[in-house]
Amino acid sequence: MKKKFVAICISLAITLTGPGMSMVTMTYADEITKENQQDQEISNDQNNTKDGENSNTNDGKETENDLIQGNDSDSPQEKAEENITEEESKEDNMEAQQEEPSEETDSEETDSEEAVTQRKVLNINDGWNFSTNDTSTAGWNFPSGAGNGVVNLPHSWEYVHPRQSYIPQMNSKTVTYEKTVNISEIKNKNLFIKFYGAARNTEVFIDGEKVGTHVGGYSAFVFDITNYVQGKDEITIKANVTNIDTVSIPINVDYTQWGGIYRDVELISTDDQYISLEDYGNKGIYIDSNVNGTTADVNVKNEISNKSNDDKELKIVTDIYDADGNKVTGTEQKVTAKANKNVQPYSTKCQIDNVHLWNGTKDPYLYTANVTVYNENDEVLDTVSDNFGVRTYEIKNGKFYLNGQEYEIHGVGMHQDREGYGNAVPDDLKVQDMNLMQEMGVNAIRTSHYPHSQSTYNLADERGMLVYCEIPYYLLLSNAESYKTSIKEELKEMIRQGYNHPSIMMWGIENEVYQPASAAAFGKDFQINENTLVSFNSSVAKLAQKEDTTRYIVQAQIDSSNANKVCAKWSKNGNVDYTGVNLYVGFKSSVSSADDEGRKEITDTLNRKLNEYKQTYNASSMMITEYGAGANINQHATMDENFSWSSDDASKDKHYEEYQAFVLETYYSLIQKRKDIPVSFVWNMFDFSCYRNEGGIPRRNTKGLVCYDHTTKKDAFYFYKANWNQQDKFVYLTSKRYTERDTKYQQIKVYSNCEGVELFVNGQSVGKGRKQQSGVFVWDDVKLDDMNTIKAVGTSDGQTYSDEVSGIKAENKNSATSIKYQTHIQSIGWQEAKKDGQTSGTIGKGLRMEALKVKLQNKKYGGNIEYRTHIAQKGWQDWKKNGQTAGTTGEKLAMEAVRLKLTGELAEHYDIYYRVHSQSYG
């Protein structure tokens, strides 16, 4: 006997960036160096005023003892990533073709008794005495477990005030690192100390005497300590490191501000003439190239320092080697190095015939420039090597081109911290991260929101990753001169240290800087008017353009009409080449359902916003610098018309893994269809530490495609792999962790790059999947048993690939099968969903009903409910189901009649009754 199906009572007004720009690497202007030298001298003079700023205080020493923004050699950890066999072969070839050995010598402390010739680099990571200078342990976090006592570098920590963590000043702590080093073998040489990264402000002392202070936590810096060590066999180095302040960038960031000396530290000894260490942390050489057919013109600018009281006649030999270590070209210069002068630029040009281009992940080919300096007796004084790649790139017609060929960007954002390490992540784990990204098919990285380690960029060069690199200028500007200085100084550090990396294509000058009214809470210095903001940010953009004429200058802005209108004012006249917008539609905005209608809501909103921002910037294309949604792999829900998301859910404790995938699928589909988004970055590749408490995991941003352990992949990881990696064929069943499902009729989804996929439930074939979009196969209304084994089998080029999950429980937790329905009403829009015979629509208002959506809930049987509507001037429309829209919206046409029917097993067990309210009839 059939049961009566719930009737529907319906009132019968039923209703339901910048312009394209050609880019090739060009010759770095020599006059920039002269201006940079002047900038350095001015910076040193200005910074001798007081501690705590980017001051190069020397306590009466000569200005050469001020902070040096320079470096000349790879850290030992960076070199550990190289392939030893290939490098040894390459070095043998290079040495055989040189008149004298010129290989730079890196050594551990145990080598200190060896004879010192030329430059010597001593890694001093081990055995530092560390103190928090705090009597309490409350609020401290040491991710690797190393607190007070002896620690090895890299070392990372954080402090969060137990009660007032929202006030930056309350989270500020200064710790001390101290170490005694034997320098007896290098005491008669010039001696420099290099920190590859210390967060965030570092005050350095030698034997109790202050050398200087560096402000900034993400780039390398060097101090000349020669005058502090004369005649000494050993020295004691002390570094006071402060994690947070409000007079330099960044402040109020949305990621954990880890403190500590979290990258390598080295002592570097040189003769009196050497390749410069004084230029903002770079290696003392700048390499540019310009491609002309099969030939590349290479310009190498070498910077030489002379600490002698006399001018010196020097010979500079610059040799270029291919990836196998064979010399392909070179030059020799005779120069006169002026006495007591640092960073003297000498440029040389050479040509590479039949040039092998650096071609992204397809072929990341690298050359090596080896620079050797000889004295007048033809003795080697110093030598430095650096890798470089020859390539061109440009954005035009809404697309990205590498070496003249269209190149689809597969981009992700990435922070540098990792669970159990903070920011002190070993280089071997960075290799693991790069492997994981390449498995997914990534070819572009936004290293957010600050410069990452040089080892990261070396890996990007070697793997062919394109990079968007940015300074930590986030959200706020301050009137404090020290704050403004830190922005420009850190910009110079970033560009000069990263200049030779072929992977870096963009320099980012700011992220979401728009000075909200709430900024005043940080103090009167943060009360900035619009004119000040526009003027200063214009100067930052111009400085970036001056520092590097060969790369795009870009920025990322928050999703706000007003913020982008202000941002456009400092971006005009070519100051900024491209602006990207960080978009979180669907995560930070409400979505009524997780079905086709929900996808349409997100897509329509995104299209509107992107079109608006293109108009704001008068741009033919836009970057999406961030897009994403949170996901906790232990939280699950069924994505259908019954699921809804509110704007405030983003900050609550439920971030469903399935909803992240739903949102990202929708964005990706839009990006593929539009022809004006040349560059986009998923936010984020990995979960990272922050000050939020949402998504059910304290202090965690859950938007990663991989968990904070950098190992556990979320479902969405495989969505991108299916689209971005066509070589590694695979099949992946989604929602494997969703082991207890609340209905026996489910949509099953598979991500795969195979041509087709067949589904099996408990050994029985359910047939081939429907292709929802690229890389996504779905099966609707799959009937599950109480306990299930689900298997998917894909085929590609005659090969089969499979994935399987067991132990999936399914039960109808909501016992009553029912109907949910919505109507769209003239002048009002979609009404709240109704069910179980409730009235949907209006009575007595004379408003027409225009469309209808109907969906079954808690199905116990196969089949569905289908419905169609009769529309004025159009007649009967097609049958719809699963919450699809039947009728029209925005056309001002009335829905005049409706028909509903049951199909499949449902029709055998139920009847359906419905009624309508018609104007004039009731």
- For the chain (922 residues), the mean pLDDT of every run of 10, in chain order, is 37 31 30 39 36 36 39 37 40 44 38 55 97 94 88 96 79 96 92 97 98 98 97 96 94 92 98 97 97 97 97 98 98 98 97 98 98 96 98 97 98 98 97 98 98 98 98 96 98 98 98 87 89 97 97 98 97 93 98 94 98 97 98 96 93 97 98 97 97 93 98 98 98 98 92 97 97 97 95 96 97 74 88 83 88 79 87 92 87 91 85 82 78
Phi–psi pair at 602, nearest 5 degrees: -65, -45
Residue type, 417: D
Q: How far apart are CA 777 and CA 711, in angstroms?
A: 25
Closest CA to 585 of 616, 558, 622: 558
Q: How far apart are CA 225 and CA 65, in angstroms?
A: 6
Q: How far apart are CA 798 and CA 729, in angstroms?
A: 12
Please tell me the predicted confidence (pLDDT) of residue 414: 98
In the chain, what's the furthest Cα-to-Cα distance? Answer: 110
98 neighbors 326 (Cβ within 8 angstroms): no
Instruction: Report the sign of the C-alpha dihedral through residues 395, 401, 407, 409, in that order.
Output: negative
Q: How far apart are CA 742 and CA 43, in angstroms?
A: 65
Whole-Å CA distances, 218 to 152, 317, 504: 19, 33, 16
Q: Please state, as a whole number, how many other Cβ atoms lie within 10 Å of the Cβ of residue 673.
A: 10
Instruction: Report the sign of the C-alpha dihedral through residues 107, 112, 117, 119, in that order.
Output: positive
390 neighbors 352 (Cβ within 8 angstroms): yes
Q: How far apart are CA 224 and CA 228, in angstroms?
A: 9
Please tell me the predicted confidence (pLDDT) of residue 128: 97
657 neighbors 687 (Cβ within 8 angstroms): no
Label residues 608-631 b or e (16+ Cβ within 10 Å = b): ebbeebbebbebbbbbbbbbbbbb
410 neighbors 722 (Cβ within 8 angstroms): no
Half-sphere exposure of 178 (CA within 13 A, CB side): 14
Cβ-Cβ contacts under 8 Å for 717 (sequence gap 6 or more): 440, 705, 706
Cβ-Cβ contacts under 8 Å for 885 (sequence gap 6 or more): 16, 597, 824, 851, 852, 853
- For 805, the token pair is 């999950």
Cβ-Cβ contacts under 8 Å for 211 (sequence gap 6 or more): 57, 58, 61, 65, 193, 204, 205, 223, 225, 228
Task: Examine residue 154 and say whether the peptide bond preceding it is cis (omega within 30 degrees of 0).
Answer: yes
Label residues 586-600 b or e (16+ Cβ within 10 Å = b): bbebebbbbbebbbe
Closest CA to 755 of 740, 732, 771: 771
7: DSSP letter: P
Q: How far apart are CA 503 and CA 50, in angstroms?
A: 38
Find how far residue 297's CA is from the centre of its chain.
Answer: 32
Q: Please state, as a whole number, how many other Cβ atoms lie within 10 Å of the Cβ of residue 913.
A: 12
- For 13, the token pair is 């007004």
Considering only CA atoms, give the Rg of the chain. 32
Q: Please state, as a whole number, how many other Cβ atoms lie within 10 Å of the Cβ of residue 921.
A: 7
Q: How far apart are CA 209 and CA 236, in angstroms?
A: 10
Note the pTM of the prediction, 2 decimals: 0.84
What are the tens digits of pLDDT across the range 209-249? 999 999 999 999 999 999 999 999 999 999 999 999 989 99
Roughly how many angstroms between the first and final C-alpha of the chain, as a whole number? Answer: 33
Closest CA to 851 of 874, 837, 510: 874
Angle of the 30-46 helix axis to the 530-547 helix axis, nearest 10: 130
Label residues 186-224 b or e (16+ Cβ within 10 Å = b): bbebbbbbbbbbbbbbbbbbbeeebbbbbbbbbbbbbbb
Q: How far apart are CA 465 and CA 442, in angstroms?
A: 8
Cβ-Cβ contacts under 8 Å for 589 (sequence gap 6 or more): 605, 647
Q: How far apart are CA 83 and CA 89, in angstroms?
A: 10
